[in-house]
């Protein structure tokens, strides 16, 4: 059953030289029974991320690992759009490159999609079996509070609005991404809210999010401000 569909795994990167080889290894390890390609969208990392990816292409093949770089940081939403244009799969998996999203969960996403026929399967930290590892209490409270606020305002029908580990039917992602106006961290929230409003079938799979081991977090005060502005925009626009 798994052989029928092809899965394109889009991984945006910026300064992930220390993580990307392990991410790729784990994807190959856990998806050996599936037809897939990995599309790495690197935003001009100065740390040599692209050099590591080119070495990985020599190991796994350029047809399995596609490097699609951009000259500079242009935002998460546009990174996924850039990757989507190169994707040959029937379904698109989006995930982070910093090992916070373990590839071991991708087969669960695929099985859930096959069982339910869902257009979107999203990983959630906020149901039984899900969780967060490595965050301070303050960061957990901030994340949980942001999610509760979004739930209260937007009623999207999913438990984890801000997660960025998902499987999309390609045609659905193409439609949603054209309508989306958010470029940064709000992009994930906008996509799932728009999908819910349009009546797409969304399923959830519990995941444990693990804080990055190598490199520094890209999340700062400006992203929190953008998140709040995005909430207000989605409240009135959707």
The pLDDT-based confidence of 61 (bands split at 50, 70, 90) is: very high
The pLDDT-based confidence of 27 (bands split at 50, 70, 90) is: very high
Q: For the chain, what percent of residues have pLDDT higher than 90?
A: 53
The pLDDT-based confidence of 178 (bands split at 50, 70, 90) is: confident
Q: What is the mean pLDDT of residues 43-48?
A: 94
For the purposes of burial, counting CB atoms within 10 Å of the CB of 204, is it exposed (0-12), middle (13-18) or buried (19 or more)? buried
- 19 pLDDT above the threshold of 80: yes
Q: For the chain, what percent of residues have pLDDT higher than 70?
A: 76
For the purposes of burial, counting CB atoms within 10 Å of the CB of 106, is it exposed (0-12), middle (13-18) or buried (19 or more)? buried
Tens digits of residue pLDDT in 5-17: 999 999 999 999 9
**What pLDDT shows up at residue 67?**
97
Tens digits of residue pLDDT in 69-124: 999 888 777 888 899 999 999 999 999 998 889 999 999 999 999 999 999 999 99
CA distance linking residue 214 with residue 192, whole number of Å: 29
**What pLDDT shows up at residue 153?**
67
- 224 pLDDT above the threshold of 70: no
The pTM assigned to this predicted structure is 0.83
CA distance linking residue 186 with residue 234, whole number of Å: 10
- 130 pLDDT above the threshold of 90: no
**What pLDDT shows up at residue 131?**
75
**What pLDDT shows up at residue 141?**
65
User: Cβ of 57: how many Cβ atoms within 10 Å?
Assistant: 18
CA distance linking residue 147 with residue 159, whole number of Å: 8
- Distance from CA of residue 60 to its chain's centroid? 22
Structural domain range at position 192: 2-237
CATH number at residue 101: 3.90.550.10
Q: How many domains is the chain partitioned into structurally?
A: 1
- Distance from CA of residue 224 to its chain's centroid? 18
């Amino acid at each position: 059953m798994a052989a029928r569909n092809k899965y394109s795994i889009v991984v945006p990167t910026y300064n992930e030289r220390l993580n990307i080889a392990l991410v790729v290894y784990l994807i190959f390890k856990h998806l050996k029974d599936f037809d897939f390609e990995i599309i790495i969208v690197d935003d001009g990392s100065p740390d040599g991320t692209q050099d590591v990816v080119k070495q990985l292409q020599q190991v796994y093949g350029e047809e399995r690992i596609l490097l699609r770089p951009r000259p500079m940081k242009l935002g998460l939403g546009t990174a996924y759009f850039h990757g989507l244009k190169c994707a040959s799969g029937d379904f698109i998996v989006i995930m982070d490159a910093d090992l916070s999203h373990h590839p071991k969960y991708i087969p669960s996403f695929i099985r859930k999609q096959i069982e339910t026929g869902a257009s979107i399967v999203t990983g959630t930290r906020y149901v039984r079996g899900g969780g967060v590892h490595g965050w301070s209490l303050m960061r957990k409270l901030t994340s949980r509070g942001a999610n509760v606020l979004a739930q209260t305002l937007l009623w999207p029908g999913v438990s984890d609005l801000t997660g960025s580990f998902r499987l999309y039917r390609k045609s659905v992602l193409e439609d949603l991404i054209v309508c989306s106006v958010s470029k940064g961290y709000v992009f994930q929230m906008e996509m799932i809210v728009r999908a819910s409003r349009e009546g797409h079938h969304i399923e959830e799979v519990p995941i444990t999010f693990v804080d990055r081991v190598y490199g520094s977090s890209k999340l700062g005060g400006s992203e929190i401000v953008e998140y709040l502005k995005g909430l207000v925009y989605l409240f009135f626009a959707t």
